[in-house]
A and B are shown apart, each in its own frame.
Chain A
Amino acid sequence: MRLLRYNRVFLDGSFELNDMTEIVFPQDDNESLTVDLRNPYLAALLAWLVPGAGHFYQRRRAKGALFCICVLSTFIFGLGLGRGRVVYASFGAEDFRWQYVPQLACGIVSFPALAQKAITQDGGDPMWVLCERFPENHPNRNLRFTKITPENEDQKLTEATLKDGFMAPPAGPKLARGDDVLSKWHFDYRHDFEMGSLFTVVAGLLNLMAIYDAVVGPAIISRAQKNRLEGQPEDS
Chain B
Amino acid sequence: MLIGNLLTLWPMLALVTPRLWYAVPLVVAVSLVWGATRHERLREIAAHSVRSLIWVLTFVSIVFALIYVSGYFTQ
- Which A residues contact B (CB, under 8 angstroms)? 25, 33, 35, 60, 62-63, 66-67, 70-71, 73-74, 77, 191, 195, 198-199, 202-203, 206, 209-210, 212-213, 217-221
CB-based contact B22/A195 at 8 Å: yes
Give the residues in chain B near A77, CB-CB below 8 Å: 25
A129 to chain B, nearest CB (A): 28
Give the residues in chain B near A195, CB-CB below 8 Å: 19, 22
Instruction: Name B1-59 residues within 8 Å CB distance of A.
Output: 19, 22, 25-26, 29-30, 32-34, 36-42, 45
Residue of B nearest to A192 (CB): B22
**Cross-chain contact of B40 among A33, A74, A202 (Cβ < 8 A):** A33
Give the residues in chain A near B22, CB-CB below 8 Å: 195
Interface size on B, residues (CB 8 A): 17
Given A66-B45, A202-B26, does the pair A220, B19 have CB atoms closer than 8 Å?
Answer: no
Main secondary structure of the interface of A (DSSP, over half): helix
A205 to chain B, nearest CB (A): 9
Question: In the assembly, what is the distance between CA of A195 and CA of B45, in Å?
Answer: 27
Question: In the assembly, what is the distance between CA of A185 and CA of B39, in Å?
Answer: 41
Main secondary structure of the interface of B (DSSP, over half): helix
Question: In the assembly, what is the distance between CA of A44 and CA of B23, in Å?
Answer: 29
CB-based contact B38/A218 at 8 Å: yes
Give the residues in chain A near B42, CB-CB below 8 Å: 62, 66
CB-based contact A74/B32 at 8 Å: no
B16 to chain A, nearest CB (A): 16
Question: In the assembly, what is the distance between CA of A209 and CA of B32, in Å?
Answer: 11
CB-based contact A35/B37 at 8 Å: no
CB-based contact A191/B19 at 8 Å: yes
